[in-house]
Structure 1
């Protein structure tokens, strides 16, 4: 399922306008939350980058459902739910951008084609932009 273009851009803007946002997974009933900061659009889908050596990847392979949230001061916060599409189809420019982003955070990889780098898509997305008074669905 592809996201609506304007909704997709809105979600991407929320995720890239803050230094970090948070992605939650759940395995065996135990939630796990960690900061993320890379998001990109490719082929009408939102994509995130991680490494196959990280706990988050192992958790997503066991349970693809996740939730992410970002608070953008002055704009409210975003809630994004979806299922991780685990087939890495990152094109060379997104792979380069993800690698450079993670390297900028102090992580080390053997270039954009390092086999431990992996990209996952957001499938079955649902999103809301919230403030203290209301929740507004984002058309995806």
Structure 2
């Protein structure tokens, strides 16, 4: 399994994982639950109407963590790539996922639905005894 597959497995094997942003030295952490891989990059989705999108525009540094019971936890660190250039399949999957959570969009091409990637990623799989880097 390659590094992106490992990261996706940790992010998609649990109902929610957590993404942290920071603006003006104030951390902001919220649950996320969609992740996909395209062109060797991990992608997440949100909306331009959410605080997280505004925070990412101010400070692109992010950190995500996911605890997968029985497997340890993932720490993923990098910068948000705000270029929003995912395939139609991923755009549809993100739309389906968010509308399944009760969010409302006019369709997968609604301009408020946006995708961001993780640039310059660093990742570790951790348990109580060790931290192992994920080769990316």
Is TM-score (shorter-chain normalized) higher than 0.5?
Answer: yes
* Equivalent position SS for 1:89: coil
Q: 2:61 aligns with which of 62, 65, 84?
A: 65
**TM-score of the superposition, structure 1-length normalised?**
0.96
The question of 1:86 aligning with 2:92 is answered no
CA RMSD of aligned residues (A): 0.7
**TM-score of the superposition, structure 2-length normalised?**
0.99
- Runs of 4+ residues deviating >2 angstroms: none
Partner residue, 2:8: 12
The question of 1:128 aligning with 2:116 is answered no
Please list, as runs of the form range in 1=range in 2, the aligned pairs for 1:1-140 lying within 5 A after superposition. Answer: 6-140=2-136
> What's the offset of the Cα at 1:18?
0.3
* Equivalent position SS for 2:2: helix
Query: What is the number of residues matched between the two proteins?
Result: 136
